[in-house]
């Protein structure tokens, strides 16, 4: 009776596996009767240790860097328009040297030099408010850029914190699934021993094997969710989610 109750999850897992295999064949563009062989272990695709301390890596995200640079540029533009409303004192110094050769002159003076120094004061008298308006507009743009950068940085921090929690939960679920597989394997070995001695019925033996298979399916699902959580964490840090 226990085996019959656990049969639907097994059938559903087999159906999901078959659909995933067909989807993979369609994505690769190969015939549907092609045999797919999987090599390797999913456990090797883990999140690096330095990724777990990612708060210091958040400023390296391309979107945050672009918003920060835009904020700095708007601030510099505001400074230019703001300073244009005030008097400007400028200084200038110029030195000229000239040489000429006159063969008809008895005592030619062929070296001429001059030095010029001056100071200029520019005072804006009337600008029809254009410069003042541009200064106000550039200041508003600067504050808007600062706000956008602050909101993006706060959102990136929340995204990272959520990804860290999801990854920790996924690791814990995978560890529990691995323990469940070990326990189900041990239970199946004991059931095989009892079945060989005639102490169990075939139905009870099938139930033990089904428990082990269900535990392995749960482990595969937990490993998949852990990989997804690791990819989301790398995306939160602005890294490539497909690299380890």
Asked if 191 contacts 200 with a C-beta cutoff of 8 angstroms, the reply is yes
What number is the average pLDDT over the span 211-237? 87
Query: Residue 167: is its pLDDT beyond 80?
Result: yes
- Per-residue pLDDT, 187: 92
Q: What is the DSSP letter of 44?
A: G
pLDDT in tens, 14-61: 777 677 777 767 766 777 777 766 555 545 555 554 555 666 667 677
Residue 141 has pLDDT above 60, yes or no: yes
Phi, psi of 90 (to 5 degrees): -125, 145
pLDDT of residue 49: 47
Mean predicted lDDT score pLDDT of the chain: 76
Instruction: Say which residues have a Cβ less than 8 Å from residue 180's Cβ, sequence separation at least 6.
Output: 215, 218, 219
Q: Which residues contact 85 (CB under 8 A, 6 or more apart)?
A: 124, 127, 131, 132, 135
Task: Please spell the DSSP secondary structure of 109-134, one letter per residue.
Answer: --EEEEEEEEEEEE-----TTHHHHH
Q: Where in the chain does DSSP place strands (E)?
A: 88-99, 111-122
Point out which residues pair with 116 in neighbouring strands. 94
pLDDT band at 89 (very low <50, low <70, confident <90, very high): low
Helix, strand or coil, per DSSP, at residue 92: strand
Model confidence at 165: pLDDT above 60 = yes
**pLDDT band, residue 156 (cuts 50/70/90):** confident
What value does the mean pLDDT take over residues 134-148?
89
Give 116's contacts (C-beta < 8 A, 6+ positions apart).
Answer: 92, 93, 94, 95, 96
Asked whether 178 and 219 are in contact (CB, 8 A), the reply is yes
Q: Which residue has the higher pLDDT, 179 or 60?
A: 179
Q: What is the pLDDT of residue 240?
A: 75
């Amino acid at each position: 009776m226990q085996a019959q109750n656990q049969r639907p999850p097994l059938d559903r897992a087999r159906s999901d596996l078959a659909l995933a295999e067909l989807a993979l064949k369609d994505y690769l563009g190969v015939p549907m009767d092609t045999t797919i062989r999987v090599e390797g272990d999913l456990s090797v695709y883990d999140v690096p240790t330095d990724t777990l301390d990612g708060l210091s890596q958040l400023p390296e995200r391309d979107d945050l860097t672009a918003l920060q640079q835009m904020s700095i540029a708007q601030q510099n533009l505001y400074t230019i328009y703001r300073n244009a409303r005030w008097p400007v004192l400028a200084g200038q110094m110029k030195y000229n040297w000239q040489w000429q050769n006159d063969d008809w002159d008895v005592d030619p003076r062929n070296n001429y030099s001059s030095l010029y120094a001056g100071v200029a004061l520019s005072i804006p008298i009337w600008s029809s408010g254009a410069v003042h308006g541009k200064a106000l507009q550039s200041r508003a743009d600067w504050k808007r850029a600062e706000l956008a950068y602050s909101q993006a940085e706060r959102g990136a921090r929340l995204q990272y914190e959520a990804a860290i929690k999801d990854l920790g939960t996924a690791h814990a679920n995978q560890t529990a699934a691995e323990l469940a597989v070990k326990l189900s394997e041990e239970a199946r070995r004991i059931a095989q021993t009892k079945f060989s001695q005639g102490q169990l019925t075939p139905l009870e033996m099938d139930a033990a094997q089904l428990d082990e298979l269900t535990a392995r399916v749960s482990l595969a699902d937990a490993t998949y969710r852990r990989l997804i959580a690791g990819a989301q964490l790398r995306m939160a840090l602005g890294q490539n989610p497909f690299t380890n």
